[in-house]
Chain A
Amino acid sequence: MIQRRKFMVVTAAWLLPGSLWLTRPAGAQGASDKASALIKSIGDQLVSVVNGPGGERDKRARLTEIIDSGVDVDGVARFCLGRFWRSASAEQQRRYMELFHQVLVNNITSKIGDYRGVRFQMGRTQRRDEDAVVSTVVERPNNPPTNVDWIVSSPAGDPKIIDVVAEGTSLRLTQRQDYASYLSHNNNNIDALINAMRQQVAEAG
């Protein structure tokens, strides 16, 4: 067993750099730098809006802008609906997508929006499969520092955030399991989910 594993490790060690070389022509380092630059820029923008002047409505509008520019919201939305995306009608997909944009802004606002004095520190950037993982530490007043990893994907040029992992918990996976549980307790009725999301958005104003 140990022998085989050793063999596999050695083989992998030889194959890995080779395959990376083949599949990623020179651009790998560039993609990591781009990912890290994106997170730095998005992070700075978020912090300046949260800590800056302006009313709640104004801040929300600007957060929405930042999120739409840096996050692959449509991709995250499809991931969160999981297998139900395929069974949803085109009309349901459209309404879900529209609501999801607002829900995501609400969730992010509720996590960082109220924290004047929020700060973040950049950490290292690593590659995982096709994506870059940018590590940061987020400090909010009154709260212990949180390790936050940003998963950045750039399949077609522009890097976009596809997931946020706080202390090992993935935002999109958690959201997906929340929706899956809600659906399974509501006869897998996608309209019920859409109505619940609409109510959530209405409550958050």
Chain B
Amino acid sequence: MPAPPSRLLVITAVLLGGLSGCATPPPASDPDAVADYRETNDPLEPTNRAIYAFNNAVDAAILKPVAQGYRYVVPARVRGGIHNTLSNLASPVQFSNDVLEGKSRRAGDTTMRFLINSTAGVLGFFDVASDWGYPNHDNDFGITMALWGMPAGPYLFLPVFGPSDPRDAVGLGVNAAMDPFTWVGQGAAVRALDWSRWAMNGIDQRERHLDDIDSIKKTALDPYATFRSLYRQHRTSQIDDARNDNRATIPVWFPQSTTPGQVTYSPTASRN
């Protein structure tokens, strides 16, 4: 039985250390080009592009065909249910990060979602909680570190995991370590479940992005740079969403001075 997914992260880090080709910065005589180079912030570009090509080959050979087969065989409703189940299993990690970020209302949403969807939602298959006023939100340790004020650092393209940066790469490992399922139980059966959940997550994510990734590859002149741009923008927007969610925790019977989602003064916001 192979090592658990979390341990692979460590191996990844070691491999990355071994492959470090650097991009050549433009000459200082061209200030526009230097500004571009800084903004792009991708000093490992040659290495990153090599890993990007490697991931693409793996994707074309394995992941994409599997995701296409999954879409072909499994009806959309069932796929949605499987996605909900996986998302429900990730609630404990999501909750830990909500708490570490000091976002009490988000932690409350996550708790209610977990309680409602695990029961009324039949072990997470149906997302009843969204209809009952507890919407889902993205969270992981990368976002938590961002809210703690840690900079993202340069762009990194990780084998298997794809677009990242040092902050998110560390976040990936910490997220895996935070996950109770990484530590619960021992033995072949638990290990097998752990692996199937991990593999199913990959297939689910790939299937959800089948059309978008095809469309990006078709329309971009430099898909590598386009994915880099999209990844950063998407992360920035997830981080901003978390940062700006400062709903107050006022009891319902107390006169409500703020509307949900509104940005208000709070001690957490002032530290950022």
Contacts and interface: CB of A to CB of B under 8 A. Distances in A.
B210 to A, nearest CB: 8
A6 B222 contact: no
Size class of the A contact interface (CB-based, 8 Å)? 35 or more
A45 B83 CA distance: 32
B229 interface: yes
B221 A170 contact: no
B77 to A, nearest CB: 12
Interface of B: 32-33, 36, 40, 71, 76, 83, 208, 211-212, 215, 218-222, 224-226, 228-230, 233-234, 236-238, 240-241, 265, 267, 270
21 contacts: A5-B270, A6-B270, A103-B219, A106-B219, A110-B218, A141-B76, A142-B211, A167-B237, A169-B234, A170-B233, A177-B225, A177-B226, A178-B222, A178-B226, A178-B229, A180-B36, A180-B40, A180-B225, A181-B222, A184-B36, A197-B221
Given A177-B229, A184-B33, A196 B221 contact: yes
Interface string A165-205: 00111100110011111101100100001001100100000
Most chain B beta-carbon contacts within 10 A, residue among A2, A167, A170, A200:
A167
Given A107-B219, A168-B237, A174-B229, 9 more contacts: A1-B270, A2-B267, A2-B270, A110-B215, A168-B240, A173-B233, A177-B229, A181-B226, A188-B33
B40 A143 contact: no
B237 A169 contact: yes
B221 A200 contact: yes
Most chain A beta-carbon contacts within 10 A, residue among B211, B234, B240:
B211
| Secondary structure call for the B interface | helix
Given A5-B270, A9-B265, A144-B208, A181 B40 contact: yes
Contacts of A5: 270
Contacts of A169: 229-230, 233-234, 237
B234 A178 contact: no
Nearest to B240: A168
Contacts of A57: none
A140 interface: yes
Contacts of B234: 167-169
Contact of A142 (B32, B76, B238): B76
A182 B71 CA distance: 34
A128 interface: no
Nearest to A115: B211
Contacts of A174: 226, 229-230, 233
Contacts of A185: 222
Most chain A beta-carbon contacts within 10 A, residue among B215, B221, B229:
B221
A144 B130 CA distance: 15
Interface in A1-17: 1-2, 5-6, 9
Contacts of B265: 6, 9
A83 B212 CA distance: 29
B199 to A, nearest CB: 20
A184 B226 CA distance: 14
Nearest to B219: A107
B221 A182 contact: yes
